[in-house]
Amino acid sequence: MSTITYRSAGVDYDPLDAFKRYCQKSAGTTVGNLARLGFGEPAGIRGETAYLLETDDAYLAHVEEGLGTKVLVADAMYRLTGQSFYRNIAIDNIATIANDLCACGALPVSMAMFAAVGDTAYLADARRSEDLAAGFAEGCEACGAVWGGGETQVLKGIVSPETMVLGGSAFGQIRPKHLRITGDVRDGDAIVCLASSGVQTNGLTLCRAVAERLPEGYLTKLSDGRTYGEALLDASIIYVRFVAECQSRNIPLHYAVHVTGHGWRKFMRLEAPFVYRISRIRPPQPVFDCIAKAAGLDHREAYGTFNMGVGFAVYVAPEHAEAAVACAGECGYEAWLAGRVCREGDRKAVIIEPLGLEFGAETLAIR
């Protein structure tokens, strides 16, 4: 059986990366407007998860995100089973925005949703519409933000009539300024991992390709008795409350990683050369086993693509590791001390010791 990779599943990222480079270059030409408006741009902020504006007493944060193709799984499951997972999908949409925001220490203040359908008939299903609306509100509550507005459009001829595009934006703040997570990582820092709920919002194109290979598609039973589709659609975890609580308990977060595209390679997102030694891993959810087997992915491919049970991680001083784990637990997150950040000369790598895996610096080029 052949392996399914992202390229074979129809996503060639080269033109996308070129477009992003054009955009970054053009965007850079507009920075001169900030001073007149009374704001500054922190050095090195381009390419970070959220755009920050500096004021005298705070950073303001602005993020735009999209949900990706996960809604197609909910559409398929709704057709197959009559069960609506759109509430979860709406929470996923909030999670993609809010988790990027809090990874720099910003807490979301207002969220705005973007939805586009190819045919208004898609929204004529009251259950779908109500579940989406309820899920957006639930997601906003989970991150302590207000749902401020949004836009819904009919894009006939652009969006497939059977589904929708979801995305949105957040405005947030870091107040006071020292709460900003800057990447001030030191040799010996502890890596604290927070569990994901499953695939969350990452790798869904590949997950959908897998469904086509499984004997009963989305209705294939996993080792825990749930269906593949149901497991894929577990709502993403929103990590804002954890970051907020660490801030109020004075647990300094040296860095935070929202584990999404590029899987565990994201642990070395920081430019500075460090080796991230993961010594304790927990078994990923059964859905990952199913994906890896059906797609023919070895550990290296699986951990380099999916979150494999870890949705968020923070790097803290070793003396704060226990407090960070306890803080997460008291906020309802599953968390554990997973490893150490080590300075080993110029070496940059993520090493998953229990699996004998190493990802070198050359495997992650996202800046």
Chosen residue from 145, 179, 195, 316 binding its own copies by CB under 8 A: 145
Chosen residue from 60, 179, 281, 287 binding its own copies by CB under 8 A: 60
Residue 152 binds its own copies, judged by CB under 8 A: yes
Query: In this chain, which stretch among 165-173, 283-291, 314-322, 343-351 interacts with its own copies, using CB under 8 A?
Result: 165-173
Residues 185-224 that bind its own copies (CB under 8 A): 205, 208
Residue 323 binds its own copies, judged by CB under 8 A: no
**Best CA proximity match to 242, nearest among 144, 173, 308:** 144
With a CB cutoff of 8 Å and minimum separation 6, the contacts of 129 are 123
**Best CA proximity match to 181, nearest among 55, 87, 52:** 52
How far is residue 259 from each of residues 5, 158, 287, 310, measured CA to CA in Å? Answer: 19, 30, 17, 7
Residues 101-120 that bind its own copies (CB under 8 A): 107, 109-110, 112-117, 119-120
**Nearest 5°: phi and psi at 95?**
-60, -40
Residues 19-58 that bind its own copies (CB under 8 A): 19-20, 22-23, 25-27, 29-31, 33-34, 36-39, 41, 46, 50-51, 53
Residue 10 binds its own copies, judged by CB under 8 A: yes
Residue 140 binds its own copies, judged by CB under 8 A: yes
Helical ranges in 143-285 per DSSP H = 204-213, 228-232, 240-248
Residue 331 binds its own copies, judged by CB under 8 A: no
Residue 246 binds its own copies, judged by CB under 8 A: no
Site string for its own copies, 281-300 (x = CB under 8 A): --------------------
Helices (H) and strands (E) in the chain, counts: 11, 12
Q: Say how far apart CA 96 and CA 74 lie, in whole Å.
A: 17
